[in-house]
Amino acid sequence: MPPEWARTPRVLAAMRHAAELAEGVRGSTSPNPPVGCVILDTAGEVVGSGATRPPGGPHAEVVALEEAGARARGGTAVVTLEPCAHTGRTGACAAALRAAGVGGLVYAVSDPNPQASGGARELERAGVAVAGGVLAEEVSGGALRGWLHFVRTGRAHVTWKYAASLDGRSAAADGSSQWITSAEARAEVHRLRAKCDAVMAGTGTVLADDPSLTVRDEHGAPVPEQPLRVVLGDREVPAGFKVLDDVAPTLRLPGGDPEGALRALAERGVVEVFLEGGPTLAGAFLRAGRVDLVQAFVAPALLGSGKSALGEAGVVSISGAWRFYFERVTMCGPDVWISAVPAEG
pLDDT digits (tens, 9 = 90+) for 270-323: 999 999 878 899 999 999 999 999 999 999 999 988 888 888 888 889 998 899
Would the annotation count 320 as a binding residue? Answer: no
pLDDT in tens, 29-84: 998 999 999 999 999 999 999 999 998 899 999 999 999 999 999 999 999 999 98
- Told to judge if 61 belongs to the known catalytic residues of this protein, a careful annotator would answer yes
Number of C-beta neighbours around residue 308 at 10 A = 18
Cis peptide bond prior to 5, omega within 30° of 0: no
CATH 3.30.428.10 fits 4-147, yes or no: no
Secondary structure of the chain in HEC code, one letter for each residue: CCCHHHHCHHHHHHHHHHHHHHHHHCCCCCCCCCCEEEEECCCCCEEEEEECCCCCCCCHHHHHHHHHHHHHCCCEEEEEECCCCCCCCCCCHHHHHHHHCCCEEEEEECCCCCCCCCHHHHHHHCCCEEECCCCHHHHHCCCCHHHHHHHHHCCCEEEEEEEECCCCECCCCCCCCCCCCCHHHHHHHHHHHHCCCEEEEEHHHHHHHCCCCCCECCCCCECCCCCEEEEECCCCCCCCCHHHCCCCCEEEECCCCHHHHHHHHHHCCCCEEEECCCHHHHHHHHHCCCCCEEEEEECCCCCCCCCECCCCCCCCCHHHCCCEEEEEEEEECCEEEEEEEECCC
The DSSP bridge partners found for residue 81 are: 109
pTM: 0.89
pLDDT band, very low/low/confident/very high, at 26 (cuts 50, 70, 90)? very high
Fold that domain 155-342 belongs to in CATH: Dihydrofolate Reductase, subunit A (3.40.430)
pLDDT band, very low/low/confident/very high, at 114 (cuts 50, 70, 90)? confident
Would the annotation count 193 as a binding residue? Answer: yes
Would the annotation count 147 as a binding residue? Answer: no
- All CATH 3.40.140.10 domain ranges of the chain, comma separated, are 4-147
The DSSP bridge partners found for residue 169 are: 308
pLDDT in tens, 191-204: 999 999 999 999 98
| Amino acid symbol at 207 | L
Would the annotation count 86 as a binding residue? Answer: no
Would the annotation count 177 as a binding residue? Answer: yes
pLDDT in tens, 194-249: 999 999 999 988 998 899 999 998 888 889 889 999 999 999 999 999 999 999 99
Distance of CA 134 to the CA centre of its chain: 21
pLDDT band, very low/low/confident/very high, at 88 (cuts 50, 70, 90)? low
- CB 281 within 8 Å of CB 208: no
Report the C-alpha gap between 273 and 262 in whole angstroms.
9
- CB 72 within 8 Å of CB 99: no
Report the C-alpha gap between 27 and 300 in whole angstroms.
31
Catalytic residue among 4, 45, 61, 66: 61
Phi, psi of 229 (to 5 degrees): -95, 130
Would the annotation count 235 as a binding residue? Answer: no
Would the annotation count 23 as a binding residue? Answer: no
Average pLDDT over residues 120-124: 93
Nearest CA to 184 out of 337, 13, 9 is that of: 337
Would the annotation count 216 as a binding residue? Answer: yes
Would the annotation count 232 as a binding residue? Answer: no
- All CATH 3.40.430.10 domain ranges of the chain, comma separated, are 155-342
